[in-house]
Amino acid sequence: FAFTANGWVQSYGSRCVKPPIIYGDVSRPNPMTVFWSKLAQSMTSRPMKGMLTGPVTILNWSFVRNDQPRFETCYQIALAIKKEVEDLEAGGIQVIQIDEAALREGLPLRKAEHAFYLDWAVHSFRITNCGVQDTTQIHTHMCYSNFNDIIHSIINMDADVITIENSRSDEKLLSVFREGVKYGAGIGPGVYDIHSPRIPSTEEIADRVNKMLAVLDTNILWVNPDCGLKTRKYNEVKPALTNMVSAAKLIRTQLASAK
């Protein structure tokens, strides 16, 4: 990988990124996130989630070498991430999220090529975590998208939990994830918009969760923000997360009382 000094590309709004250039074979000579993940885990008795970007998303958000098929480069990235995942697990991290936010956006324009793309994309994701123990929980995350035509590929990724951006969508988006019940995966639709500085109240989040429960079973629903929080200030993050946790506790109490 190589990064330019000034090769900025707009991501959304005023947010810009510098996509890396993949100019040769990909490998991982040293751990990337293990030190900081272990440090964070040492400060709490609660499970600390390791966070990694998935191989398909890295590929789709990079300028990729054109002297070999894209899927071969993706497999190289997947093998590098696999080493990181195994080192995280060995370091005591029992929950590891491998984001595939850009899975769908890589679909070829020709529909006839969709099946081949999805086949190697799913295979790449499964390579990243094929060596973990059954006790290690694998999560993935996807951005706003139409999941209906790729739901079977999402299921084939075999993640334990899928989180999706959802706060600006209605609950119709979630109906397709009823399929997840077939293999026991958890689903975490975003309960508040992390792109806004607005802090949602406990009652507002609880109301959203109740609407989700009208579509999804209680045993598969996870409560989480839409996406990562790096665009938010700390004085926005803490009260929003506090209200989210309070809402989850409130819903649990309501569900227990209803039994």
**At residue 112, what are phi and psi to the nearest 5 degrees?**
-65, -20
C-beta atoms surrounding 153 within 10 Å:
19
pLDDT in tens, 67-115: 999 999 999 999 999 999 999 999 999 999 999 999 999 999 999 999 9
* Residue 179 pLDDT level (bands cut at 50, 70, 90): low
Q: What is the mean pLDDT of the chain?
A: 93
CATH of 9-258 given 3.40.50.300, 3.30.360.10, 3.20.20.210, 3.20.20.70 = 3.20.20.210
Mean pLDDT of 8-29: 92
Query: What's the rounded Cα separation, in Å, for the pair 16 and 159?
Result: 30
Q: Is 195 a catalytic residue?
A: yes
Which amino acid appears at position 56 of this protein? V
Domain boundaries, the chain: 9-258
Query: What's the rounded Cα separation, in Å, for the pair 46 and 93?
Result: 11
Question: How many CA atoms, within 13 angstroms, populate the side-chain half-sphere of residue 71?
Answer: 13
pLDDT at 78: 99
pLDDT at 184: 63
**At residue 93, what are phi and psi to the nearest 5 degrees?**
-85, 115
